[in-house]
Structure 1
């Protein structure tokens, strides 16, 4: 299980903003076999690091007073200069929701909204490099944005992160591009305008690898979560969408046999 390495422009971290962190910690630790480590430093505001094999794999923070957005996961993309990248995002038609802010000696973060309204984070690593593992059970395996403005999203991420794209499908029923850097896939962009329910904005989502999607869905329900989309087979594995006991959603992916 080699540790993950990252390049600028690739997803590097995910964390959950929760209205009741202590309530949902057992859900994630039992479901994915994660550990949960409290940083113990007041400057981090009660932030908890979920671990896999003893190393960071995701984060959890409390919903701050005055923040209306809770019980949701955020995807962060690596930047070598979060302030400069935020400036590029604004120039490319995005919105800087949280300017670059240093987080102790861990790194620097910023929050953006792309032109379609999807919120995504920036992370400029210092002592905290990002998740230690990827593409294995209990670790992130894929990231994508569900976009209400597909052309604008493609242009934005190309301009800000220098992504290239491979077209996976281009029909009214299914339009999807895979973002690449030097030919390596890093994330997906889906045209979701036709099927997102009214009032649901564009958003980023990610997938956690599991050994058995059906068993994981059953466990999620037993632990107080819910099934948003039942497991379905796809060319990329058996995929489902679940929600934790407070409604935060994420996807799980059992890879195809032989992967």
Structure 2
């Protein structure tokens, strides 16, 4: 099922948003790329724009904030937490930093912005009226997140200790330093990619699309950029950037590679 109506288990990537300087330009780009429509909202933390697919909330756009890496633009990932305040303390105890303490976002939920010990930023999400992305694992929605870092060992240790993830190697990509992160129930939520050339540690978002080459062409036509598409054991992928330089991936999954999805 691609529809999500209840809070995800602890540590599952459950929501994404993007801080941008020009909301209207971002709406035009992602509308052309994914067919999203939009709904304006507001909370005590400021205005934001809900991104909708078939009327359901799948992401958000907002003004840039402390949660965004300085001088960079990245889709910001939220991990599910039944108790945002307790999860924030676990992040701190594991060697991470708290960038924004827990706070309510209207009636939608409770969130905190944090940073892991290798410098990757993410947030926690305790869903109330909004459990998280209401569609996932289908075209124009979130399919997975992976951490790229030049310091994979402390990253693996932090996420294992803080979110109770187990760690598994990847036999499909033996030439890469890639470790699957799995919840205690065995469900894969993403992975850690050890990249010696990574200039900074960042969580990278991948969206599913119906056709990778077609999505790349739409991105370029809308003012972004696209790499050449490549075939992997999981599907056909491309690296895109939006007009703000936000890097993200798209994938058309192969039937044999449907388990690339990283949400439950």
TM-score when normalising by structure 2:
0.89
1:114-153 mapped onto 2 (5 Å cutoff): 114-153=116-155
Aligned residues: 253
Structure 1 counterpart of 2:108, from 106, 109, 118: 106
Match of 1:49 in 2: 50
Moved more, 101-110 or 8-17: 101-110
Displacement after TM superposition at 1:42 (Å): 5.8
1:242 pairs with 2:258: no
Match of 1:208 in 2: 207
Determine if contact 2:206/2:248 at 8 Å carries over to the other structure. Answer: yes
Match of 2:262 in 1: none
* Mapped partners of 2:92, 2:134: distance in 1: 30
Displacement after TM superposition at 1:74 (Å): 0.4
Q: Deviations over 1:35-78 (max 9, x none)?
A: 11111x36352200101121010110012599745632101000
* Mapped partners of 1:211, 1:129: distance in 2: 25
Displacement after TM superposition at 1:103 (Å): 1.1
Determine if contact 2:160/2:166 at 8 Å carries over to the other structure. Answer: yes
Structure 2 counterpart of 1:186, from 189, 197, 216: 189
Match of 1:15 in 2: 17
Give the 3-state SS of the residue equivalent to 2:75 in structure 1: strand
Give the 3-state SS of the residue equivalent to 1:71 in structure 2: coil
Displacement after TM superposition at 1:230 (Å): 2.1
* Mapped partners of 1:207, 1:89: distance in 2: 24
* Mapped partners of 2:213, 2:46: distance in 1: 36
Displacement after TM superposition at 1:142 (Å): 1.1
Determine if contact 1:18/1:70 at 8 Å carries over to the other structure. Answer: no
1:220-239 mapped onto 2 (5 Å cutoff): 220-227=219-226, 229-239=227-237
1:62 pairs with 2:76: no
* Mapped partners of 1:48, 1:172: distance in 2: 41
Determine if contact 1:19/1:71 at 8 Å carries over to the other structure. Answer: no
* Mapped partners of 1:42, 1:55: distance in 2: 19
Unaligned runs of 5+ in 2: 259-264
Determine if contact 1:13/1:76 at 8 Å carries over to the other structure. Answer: yes
Distance 1:2 1:250, change over 3 A: closer
Distance 1:109 1:218, change over 3 A: same
Determine if contact 1:169/1:177 at 8 Å carries over to the other structure. Answer: no
Distance 1:65 1:170, change over 3 A: closer
Q: Deviations over 1:161-202 (max 9, x none)?
A: 11012111599951111111111111111111x232xxx210
* Mapped partners of 1:121, 1:51: distance in 2: 21
Determine if contact 1:239/1:252 at 8 Å carries over to the other structure. Answer: yes
